[in-house]
Amino acid sequence: MNFQLLLRRRGIVDHAVLKAMDEVPREDFVEPITRDDAYADVALPIACGQTISQPFVVAYMTEQLQLRRYHRVLEIGTGSGYQAAVLSHLAAEVVTVERYRTLADRARLRLRRLARDNVEVLTADGFDLPDELGLFDRVMVTAAMEEVPESLKERLTKDGVLLAPVGPDGGVQVLMRIRRRAPDSAADSASQGFATEELLEVRFVPALKGIARQL
């Protein structure tokens, strides 16, 4: 089946997202042994015990971010680099963080070969990000968290959006969309908060704290 048709049948309607999915060669981001299944709508194993999400989930999460060309995006959990590559076609800048150095190094090489110059790959702890990274218009977490840390929500600009799978390790999580509300007026900063919406049941590998000592 045509890749775009598969995604359309699953409910993806954003033309920019469909175009980005079509332009990123997914076969470059999977392991050689699974290359024949690169465009199947399934998650596939990659190094360090991690996975590359199924195409529908990648497209759905990207669509739900409601990206604009001027947005600065943070991704927690680089993995193969595939999601970051898709995001790079839709945003001005993508900073993606990976705790496994092997995955970060491989993703950086893949993205460089594809000339995705607006992506920066960092080996870092997604739960303890450097202050100098600043704020982001959009944040995407691609690993399961039992709860979203306040420190990560605080990375959002006003009216920024965060997506994260929230739930137990090894079980079903719920994809949550959290939007940072702007104050009603400059004098009403107390009205600023976070609006949370449940989107979809998903399954992701767990988000772990710290930088991996090996791999």
Q: Which two tokens stand for residue 79?
A: 């993995």
**pLDDT value of residue 191:** 45
Q: What pLDDT is stored for residue 15 in this prediction?
A: 96
Instruction: Report residue 208's pLDDT band, with 50, 70 and 90 as the boundaries.
Output: confident
Would 214 be classed as within a structural domain? no
Please report which residue ranges of the chain form alpha helices under DSSP H: 3-9, 15-23, 55-64, 82-88, 101-113, 150-153
Tell me the two tokens of residue 75.
Answer: 């991704």
**Residue 53 to residues 44, 148, 159, 187: CA-CA distances in angstroms?**
7, 20, 27, 43
DSSP line for 82-117: HHHHHHHTTSSEEEEEES-HHHHHHHHHHHHHTT-T
Q: Is residue 191 flagged as an active site residue?
A: no
Q: Is residue 100 part of a domain?
A: yes
Q: What is the pLDDT of residue 1?
A: 55
pTM: 0.92
pLDDT in tens, 107-139: 999 999 999 999 999 999 999 999 999 999 999
Report the C-alpha dihedral over residues 50, 55, 60, 63, rounded to 10 degrees: 110
> Would residue 211 count as lying in a domain?
no
In a domain, residue 73? The reply is yes
- Note down the domain range covering 192: 3-202
Determine which one of 53, 80, 185, 191 is catalytic. 53
Name the percent of the chain in helix, strand, coil, to the closest 5.
30, 25, 40
- Which of 208, 202, 143 has its CA nearest to residue 171? 202
Q: Which CATH number is 25's domain given? A: 3.40.50.150
pLDDT tens profile 53-88: 999 999 999 999 999 999 999 999 999 999 999 999
**Average pLDDT for the chain:** 92
pLDDT at 183 over 70: no
Environment class of residue 2 by beta-carbon count within 10 Å: exposed (0-12), middle (13-18) or buried (19+)? exposed
Domain count, the chain: 1
Rounded to whole angstroms, the Cα distance separating 200 from 101 reads 30
Asked, for residue 30, whether it belongs to a domain, the answer is yes
Look at residue 215 and tell me if it is in a domain: no
- 8-state DSSP, 132: G
Q: pLDDT digit string (tens) for 135-169? A: 999 999 999 999 999 999 999 999 999 999 999 88
Task: Count how many Cα atoms sit within 13 Å of the Cα of residue 143 in the half-sphere of its side chain.
Answer: 21
In a domain, 15, yes or no: yes
